Amino acid sequence: MKIYLTTGVGFGKTTISAFDVALKDAGVYNFNLLTLSSVIPIGSEILFENLPVKDEEWGYKLYVVKADMRSRASGRFIGAALGWYQWKDGRGIFVEHEEEGETEESVRISLEEEVKNSVRDLCEDRGIEFDENKMGSKINITQVKEQPACVLVVAAYKSESWS
């Protein structure tokens, strides 16, 4: 299975419209998102690109693991992150974290630490030896300015029609 990892940033008059712009930026805004917990199926490959989308998929279900942070606190930094760990056969786990802070650096440091600790815990819970060098992560940070903002990181599994 191919899992498409993408990010988005959006600004709007409301946090909901900022979220929609971030979904558009990530290439997944015309889907109904169904959030998954965090398990990566056996044989999966994580690709760092937008999900290929066809016009007829408008309104389809899209299975995702996502982290998103929305805020209207002008001057603050917001961040979203996904971390993951895969075994040799492609199976694995994702973790999702969000953060808000006074500086970009403080948000990044906090997200890096939270992701690493969560991935370590989830590996430990499954009896898997954790090697930090084999862990993946993607962090997305922006500053809230005059209008509400949203950042997100999405792992898109697959789309599916309703019929």
Model confidence pLDDT, tens digit, residues 23-38: 999 999 999 999 999 9
pLDDT for residue 7: 98
Q: What is the pLDDT of residue 92?
A: 98
pLDDT of residue 101: 98
pLDDT of residue 122: 98
Backbone φ, ψ for residue 147 (5° rounding): -130, 165
DSSP string, 14-30: SHHHHHHHHHHHHT-TT
What pLDDT sits at residue 32? 97
Classify strands 149-160 and 2-11 as parallel, antiparallel or unpaired.
Answer: antiparallel
Mean pLDDT score of the chain: 97
- Residues (pLDDT < 70) of the chain are none
Q: How far is CA 47 from CA 4, 31, 123, 136, in A?
A: 5, 19, 22, 12
At residue 58, the pLDDT reads 95
Q: Which pLDDT does position 119 carry in this prediction? A: 98
User: What pLDDT, on a 0 to 100 scale, did the predictor assign at position 87?
Assistant: 96
